[in-house]
Amino acid sequence: MTAFDYLTVLVSIVVGLAIANVLARLAAVITARERVDFYWPPVAWAIWIFFIAVQHWWAQWSVRHTREWNFATFWLEMLFPVLLFLLSALVLPDRDEHGKLDLGQWYFRNRAWFLAVLFCLLVVSLAEELVRTGRIASPVNLGFQLFFGALCIVAFLSKSRRAQEWITGVAMVSTFAYVAVLFLYLPA
C-alpha cells in the first residue's frame, strides 16, 4: 500500500459524506415540493457541490504522484472535502422549518457563510497545490480560480436577489467550462 492509497481513504470518505449530504438535502426539497417556496440559486449551488465533489475525487488521481507526504500537505488535502461538506450543509435546509421551506430565505440567511466557505475552498485548493508541488502547474486553473474568487467576493458583498441569480448562473456555466477544459480525462 502506498501513502496515496492510505491517505486517499479518509479523503474519499469525507467527499462521500459531502455527496450524501447534498443529495439528501436535494431529496428533502423535492419530497417537500408542495411546501417549498422555490428559489433556484441554492438548488443550482447544490448541484454545483455535487459536481465539484465528483470532480475533486476524479482529479485526486493526479495526486498519486506525490512522492513525499507530511502532515501539513495531508491537512490541506483533507481540508478541501471538509469545506465541501460544510458547503453541503449550508446550501439547502435538511428539514421543514415551520411547515414550509423558503429557499430564498434560507439562501440569504446563509449566503455570507456559504460564500465565505466557498472562497476558502479556492484558497485551500491553491495552497494545497503550492505546498504539495511547490508551484502552480496550470495558468488556466489559476485564472479560473482567481475569476471564481472574484465572483465569490462580489456575491458576498451584494445582497441583491438579481445579482445573486446572475452570479450563480455565471458560476455554473464557467465551472462546467473549466471542468471540460481541464478535467475531461483522468489525469495522466
pLDDT per residue as tens digits for the range 87-105: 999 999 987 656 788 999 9
Q: Is residue 33 part of a domain?
A: yes
pLDDT at residue 96, rounded to an integer? 64
Q: Which residues contact 168 (CB under 8 A, 6 or more apart)?
A: 40, 41, 44, 45, 155
Q: Is residue 188 part of a domain?
A: no
| Residue 168 reports pLDDT greater than 90 | yes
Average pLDDT taken over every residue of the chain: 92
169-179 tens-digit pLDDT: 999 999 999 99
Residue 12 is assigned to a structural domain of this protein = yes
Q: Is 68 inside any structural domain? A: yes
Residue 120 lies in a domain: yes
Q: How many CB atoms lie within 10 A of CB 177?
A: 11
In a domain, 160, yes or no: yes
Residue 185 in 3-state DSSP? Answer: coil
> 33 φ, ψ to 5°?
-55, -30
Instruction: Collect all residues with Cβ–Cβ distance below 8 Å to 36 and sequence separation of at least 6.
Output: 29, 100, 101, 102, 103
Give residue 155's domain range: 3-182
pLDDT one-digit tens code per residue, 47-87: 999 999 999 998 888 888 888 888 999 999 999 999 999 99
Single pTM value for the model: 0.93
Please count the structural domains in the chain: 1
C-alpha cell at 81: 472535502
Does 148 fall in a domain? yes
Tell me 184's DSSP state: S
Cα separation, 149 vs 74, whole angstroms: 23
State the DSSP string of 11-73: HHHHHHHHHHHHHHHHHHHHHTGGGEE--HHHHHHHHHHHHHHHHHHHHGGGGGG-----HHH
With beta carbons less than 8 A apart as the criterion, state whether 61 and 44 touch.
no
Q: Is residue 178 part of a domain?
A: yes
